[in-house]
């Protein structure tokens, strides 16, 4: 790693102005980098320190007593200063042993000037050196960024980018994709590769959600790996990392890491978009399914690569993602709000164990999802993928986005994929009343969606008509009272609390409901009909 851009205590001691200086304690801290130089004569003013300063002092504010000397030294150490230079003279003729011991304990460089020096000359010299080094570092970063841009425009090879990064930092690097593939630059012994790969898989990829910020993983007492996520559209595609030996990442290093991870993200996205174009014909199968032109079971299996003698038939789900917002209709597929997300969506679904076919049409995205590995937690994996897709959409299009999912039952009957999409559409039709995206949990709404509006209106009139008429004439709330009473399993106390009324008021309302509907309205068969009629009424009048 290039450290030339930082001015350290060791570098300072080689400057001509430090010829009369001697390190008297804390020599193990000579590698500390200096951010600035500050003259400080009393501990009371140490609050102005920000950390990283080399302190210059004559001892005028603390040299007369042991307590003041130690308090001053303790304060600058606690304020994260990197070293203290004291001009020996009338205030401190020599560095006392107690200061030497404290500085040595904290590995804090303590430097003594044996004769008077001009602090203004030292400050000017070191500040100029610091600024020049930082300017040179910025030039190097700018050149590195230009080289990265040229590489990303000329090639899609990750190895070229990783090699360029490794040549800049002179340390072992790795690229770790969330699909569990890993590349080391330069190459490492197989045993070491396996050890590091196992560590990364058991830490980074075992977390839910996986880390979206940089961090470190300890490898041994003197070695750790520092990783940076490679992000695109709010999702982690991979990690770029470096093995560090007794080194800490600095600003220069983290900027290099950030530039490189951005370049890698661009290459990965290009590859994903190219793959998306190559899969266009395969994705058109969804269009054929939606228009009932997909063919027979055998023809569909052939199109997706499941042969007639296949031992394992992957089960599939049909899903629909819909955006509901006050925007003009999307007339072309490329105008769809989902068009730019297809590659990321595919990545997220593959990560969760699905082979996806995707088709965007206006405000809807149609998904046909085949399990790549048979597993009992397929539905849980699908829920995680849908949640990540929703997160991606909201990050790009706004948190206020009205987004709804509909997911069919799973099946291995490919010839009925069209029916599966109709199941997903049914879930979308009830999304205002129904929180779950799964058709399997739709319950009685499955029956309501199959009935005509005339049939439902007639059913509602037969069972709820007297209440509706009474509420309309008397501006009362008998219908809502019945709904709350049934929803709380006939608990009068809970219903009264929910309605914010006294129990006597509730008894009065229930008596009126009984007068209108009959004494048997709470018998099981009648109660079931009332609950279905209430849901049918809510659905038909949801606008």
CB 478 within 8 A of CB 471: yes
What is the rounded CA–CA span in Å between residue 101 and residue 82?
Answer: 16
Residue 102 has pLDDT above 90, yes or no: yes
CA 371 to chain centre: 25
Give the residue from 236, 259, 238 showing the smallest Cα distance to 169: 259
Question: What digits encode the pLDDT tens for the residues 299-325?
Answer: 888 877 777 777 778 889 999 999 876
- Nearest-10 crossing angle of helices 280-290, 417-429: 70
Task: Please tell me what DSSP assigns to residue 199.
Answer: H
Tell me the sheet residues that pair with 86. Answer: 57, 112
Question: What digits encode the pLDDT tens for the residues 137-186?
Answer: 888 888 888 888 888 887 667 888 888 898 888 889 999 888 778 888 98
Quote the tokens at residue 402.
């009205």
- Mean pLDDT, to the nearest integer, of 18-33? 91
- Mean pLDDT, to the nearest integer, of 410-423? 90
Domain limits, the chain? 7-129, 155-274, 280-440, 451-540
CB 11 within 8 A of CB 255: no
* 307 CB-side CA count, 13 A: 3
Can you give the pLDDT at residue 295? 78
CATH number assigned to the domain covering 155-274: 3.30.450.30
Can you give the pLDDT at residue 155? 67
Question: What digits encode the pLDDT tens for the residues 447-505?
Answer: 777 777 888 888 888 888 889 898 889 888 998 898 898 888 889 899 889 989 998 99
CB 271 within 8 A of CB 156: yes
The DSSP annotation for 66-100 comes to HHHHHHHHHHHHHTT--EEEEE-SSS-SS--HHHH
Can you tell me whether residue 403 is helix, strand or coil? Answer: strand
**What's phi and psi for 38, nearest 5 deg?**
-140, 135
Can you give the pLDDT at residue 1? 47
Look-up of token digits 């193990």 = 28
CB 41 within 8 A of CB 70: no
What is the rounded CA–CA span in Å between residue 367 and residue 437?
Answer: 14
Tell me the sheet residues that pair with 229. Answer: 239
Q: What is the CA radius of gyration of the chain?
A: 36
Question: What digits encode the pLDDT tens for the residues 255-279?
Answer: 899 999 999 998 888 888 777 776 7
Please give the CATH topology (third level) of the domain spanning 280-440: Alpha-Beta Plaits (3.30.70)
Q: How many residues does the chain have?
A: 543
What is the rounded CA–CA span in Å between residue 435 and residue 217?
Answer: 40
Give the residue from 397, 431, 391 showing the smallest Cα distance to 327: 397
CB 292 within 8 A of CB 418: yes
CB 438 within 8 A of CB 320: no
Q: State the CB neighbour count (10 A cutoff) for residue 327.
A: 9
Q: Any residues with CB less than 8 A from the CB of 330 and at least 6 apart, and which?
A: 336, 337, 362, 363
What is the rounded CA–CA span in Å between residue 83 and residue 251?
Answer: 20
Can you give the pLDDT at residue 159? 84
- Mean pLDDT, to the nearest integer, of 360-377? 84
Residue 407 has pLDDT above 90, yes or no: yes
For the question of whether the overall pTM of this predicted structure is more than 0.85, the answer is: no
**What's phi and psi for 182, nearest 5 deg?**
-140, 140
Q: What is the homologous superfamily of the domain 7-129 according to CATH?
A: HprK N-terminal domain-like (3.40.1390.20)
What is the rounded CA–CA span in Å between residue 495 and residue 210?
Answer: 44
Q: State the CB neighbour count (10 A cutoff) for residue 229.
A: 21
Q: Give the burial string for 479-513 (b: 16+ CB within 10 Å, else e).
A: bebbbbbbebeeeeeebbebbeeeeeebeebbebb
**What's phi and psi for 128, nearest 5 deg?**
-65, -40
Look-up of token digits 């190219």 = 274
- Mean pLDDT, to the nearest integer, of 44-60? 87
What is the rounded CA–CA span in Å between residue 461 and residue 474?
Answer: 18
Give the residue from 217, 218, 237 showing the smallest Cα distance to 227: 217
Quote the tokens at residue 504.
């006597």
Question: What digits encode the pLDDT tens for the residues 182-215?
Answer: 888 988 888 888 888 888 888 887 777 788 888 8
């Amino acid at each position: 790693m290039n450290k030339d851009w930082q001015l350290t205590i060791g570098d300072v001691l080689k400057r001509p102005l430090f010829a009369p200086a001697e390190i008297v304690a804390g020599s193990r801290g000579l590698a500390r980098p200096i951010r600035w130089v500050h003259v400080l004569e009393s501990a009371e003013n140490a609050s102005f320190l920000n950390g990283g300063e080399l302190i210059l002092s004559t001892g005028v504010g603390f040299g007369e007593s042991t307590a003041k000397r130690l308090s001053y030294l303790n304060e600058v150490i606690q304020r994260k200063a990197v070293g203290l230079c004291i001009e020996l003279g009338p205030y401190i003729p020599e560095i006392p042993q107690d200061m030497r011991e404290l500085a040595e304990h904290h590995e804090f460089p303590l430097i003594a000037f044996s004769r008077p020096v001009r602090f203004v000359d030292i400050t000017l010299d070191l500040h100029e050196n610091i600024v020049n080094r930082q300017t040179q570092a910025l030039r190097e970063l700018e050149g590195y960024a230009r080289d990265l841009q040229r590489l990303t425009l000329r090639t899609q090879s990750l190895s070229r980018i990783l090699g360029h990064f490794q040549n800049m930092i002179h340390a072992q690097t790795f690229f770790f994709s969330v699909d569990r593939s890993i590349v080391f630059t330069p190459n490492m012994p197989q045993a070491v590769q396996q050890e590091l790969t196992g560590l990364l898989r058991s830490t980074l990829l075992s977390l839910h959600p996986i880390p979206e910020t940089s961090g470190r993983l300890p490898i041994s007492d003197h070695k750790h790996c520092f990783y940076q996520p490679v992000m695109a559209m709010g999702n982690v595609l991979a990690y770029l990392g470096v093995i560090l030996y007794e080194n800490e990442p600095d600003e220069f290093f983290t900027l290099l890491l950030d530039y490189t991870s951005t370049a890698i993200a661009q290459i990965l996205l290009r590859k994903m978009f190219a793959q998306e174009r190559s899969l266009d014909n395969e994705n058109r199968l969804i269009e054929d399914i939606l228009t009932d032109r997909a063919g027979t079971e055998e023809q569909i299996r052939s199109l997706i690569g499941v042969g007639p003698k296949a031992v394992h038939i992957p089960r599939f789900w049909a899903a629909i993602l819909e955006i509901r917002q006050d925007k003009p209709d999307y007339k072309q597929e490329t105008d769809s709000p989902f068009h730019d997300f297809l590659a990321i969506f595919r990545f997220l679904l593959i990560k969760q164990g699905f082979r996806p076919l995707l088709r965007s049409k206006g405000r809807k995205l149609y998904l046909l999802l085949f399990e790549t590995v048979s597993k009992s937690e397929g539905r849980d994996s699908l829920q995680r993928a849908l949640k990540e897709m929703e997160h991606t959409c909201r990050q790009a299009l706004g948190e206020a986005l009205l987004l709804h999912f509909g997911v069919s039952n799973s099946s291995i009957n490919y010839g009925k994929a069209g029916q599966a999409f109709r199941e997903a559409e049914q879930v979308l039709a009830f999304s205002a009343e129904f929180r779950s995206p799964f058709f399997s949990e739709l319950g009685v709404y499955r029956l309501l969606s199959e009935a005509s509006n005339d049939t439902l209106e007639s059913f509602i009139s037969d069972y709820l008509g007297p209440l509706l008429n009474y509420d309309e004439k008397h501006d009362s709330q008998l219908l809502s009272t019945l709904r709350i009473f049934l929803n709380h399993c006939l608990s009068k106390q809970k219903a009264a609390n929910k309605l914010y009324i006294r129990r006597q008021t509730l008894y009065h309302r229930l008596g009126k409901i009984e007068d209108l509907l009959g004494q048997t309205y709470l018998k099981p068969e009648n109660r079931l009909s009332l609950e279905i009629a209430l849901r049918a009424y809510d659905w038909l009048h949801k606008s």
